[in-house]
Amino acid sequence: MRLIASIGEWLDARLQLGATIRETAEHPVPRETASWFYVFGSAAFVVFMLQIVTGIMLAFIYVPSAGEAWNSLQTLNHNVSLGWFIRALHGWGSDFMVAIVLIHMVQVFLFGAYKFPREPTWIIGVFLLIVTLGMAFTGQVLRFDQDAYWGLGIGASIASRVPVMGPSIVNLMLGGPIIAGATLSRFFALHVFVIPGMLIAFVAVHLLMVVKLGINEWPMPGRVVRKATYIKDYHELVKKDGIPFVPAAVWKDMFFSAFILLSVAACALYFGPFGPSGPPNPTIIQTAPRPDYFFLWLYAVLSLLPPSMETPALLIGPVVVILGLLLLPFFFGEGEKSWRRRPVAVLTILLVSVALGTFTRLAGNAPWSPVMDAWSGDPIPPKFLHNRTALERQGALVFQVKQCHNCHSLDNEGGKRGPALDAVAVRLTQDQLIRQVIQGGGNMPAYGKNLSPAETTALVAFLETLHPAGQSPARDASRAVALAPDAATPPSDHP
Amino acid sequence: MTLPSGLTRRDLFMKIGIFLNGIVAVILGVPIVRYLLSPVTHERKGSYESWVALGSIQQFPSGQTRLATYRDPIVSPTDGDTADIACWVRNVDGQRFQVFAINCAHLGCPVRWFPQSSLFMCPCHGGAYYQDGSRASGPPERGLFEYHYRIENGKLLIRAGEMPTPGQASNIVREIKPCA
Q: Is A336 left (phi over 0), alpha (psi -120 to 50) or beta?
A: beta
CA distance B99 to B155: 13
Model pLDDT for residues A325-356, shown as the tens digit of each residue: 999 999 999 999 999 999 999 999 999 999 99
For residue B122, the chain A residues in CB contact (below 8 A) are 370
Show residues of chain A in contact with B73, CB under 8 Å. Answer: none
- What is the chain A residue with the closest CA to B69? A283
Find out whether the peptide bond into A117 is cis, omega within 30 degrees of 0. Answer: yes
Cis peptide before A468 (omega within 30 of 0): no
Which residues in chain A have their CB less than 8 angstroms from residue B83's CB? Answer: 178, 180
Contact between A152 and A141 under an 8 Å Cβ cutoff? The reply is yes
A392-445 residue pLDDT tens: 999 999 999 999 999 999 888 888 888 999 889 889 988 899 999 999 888 899
In chain A, the percentage of residues whose pLDDT exceeds 90 is 69
pLDDT digits (tens, 9 = 90+) for A217-276: 999 999 899 999 999 999 999 999 899 999 999 999 999 999 999 999 999 999 999 989
DSSP letter at A219? Answer: P
Cα Rg, chain A, nearest whole Å: 31
Which residue numbers in chain B have pLDDT < 50? Answer: 170-180
Confidence of residue A35 (pLDDT cuts 50, 70, 90): very high
Mean pLDDT of chain A: 91
Judging contacts by C-beta atoms under 8 Å, the chain B residues touching residue A298 are none
* Per-residue burial over B153-163, b = 16 or more CB atoms within 10 Å of its CB, e = otherwise: eeebbbbbbbb
Interface of A with B in 257-296 (CB under 8 A): 279-283, 285-289
Contact (CB, 8 A) for A97 and A47: yes
Contacts of A66 in chain B (CB under 8 A): 78-82
* pLDDT confidence band for A494 (50 / 70 / 90): low
- What's the rounded mean pLDDT across residues A477-484? 78
Q: Which residues pair with B69 in a beta bridge?
A: B86
Instruction: Give the mutation candidate from B41, B107, B116, B122 for the A interface (greatest A CB count, under 10 A).
Output: B107
Residue B20 to chain A, least CA–CA distance (Å): 28
Report whether the peptide linkage leading into residue A247 is cis, meaning its omega lies within 30 degrees of zero: yes
For the segment A89-97, the average pLDDT, to the nearest whole number, is 97
Q: What confidence score (pLDDT) does residue A288 get? A: 83
**Domains of chain A, start order:** 19-365 (1.20.810.10), 374-483 (1.10.760.10)
Q: How confident is the model at residue A289 (pLDDT cuts 50, 70, 90)?
A: confident
Q: Which of residues 405-444 of A touch B (CB under 8 A)?
A: 406-407, 417, 440, 443-444
A381-385, A386-390, B15-19, B157-161: which is most confident = B15-19
pLDDT of residue A292: 86
A137 pLDDT exceeds 80? yes
* Distinct helix (H) and strand (E) counts, chain B: 2, 11
A54: exposed, middle or buried (Cβ count in 10 Å: 0-12, 13-18, 19+): buried
Q: Is A112 exposed, middle or buried (0-12, 13-18, 19+ CB in 10 A)?
A: buried
| pLDDT tens digits, one per residue of A448-467 | 888 899 999 999 999 988 88
Q: What is the pLDDT of residues A178-204, one digit of tens each?
A: 999 999 999 999 999 999 999 999 999
| Residue boundaries of the structural domains of chain B | 1-41, 50-172
Q: Does domain B50-172 have CATH number 3.90.1200.10?
A: no
* Cβ–Cβ under 8 Å, residues A438 and A447: yes
C-beta atoms of A181 and B138 within 8 A: no
Does A153 contact chain B (CB < 8 Å)?
A: yes
Cα radius of gyration rounded to whole Å, chain B:
26
Residue A97 has pLDDT above 50, yes or no: yes
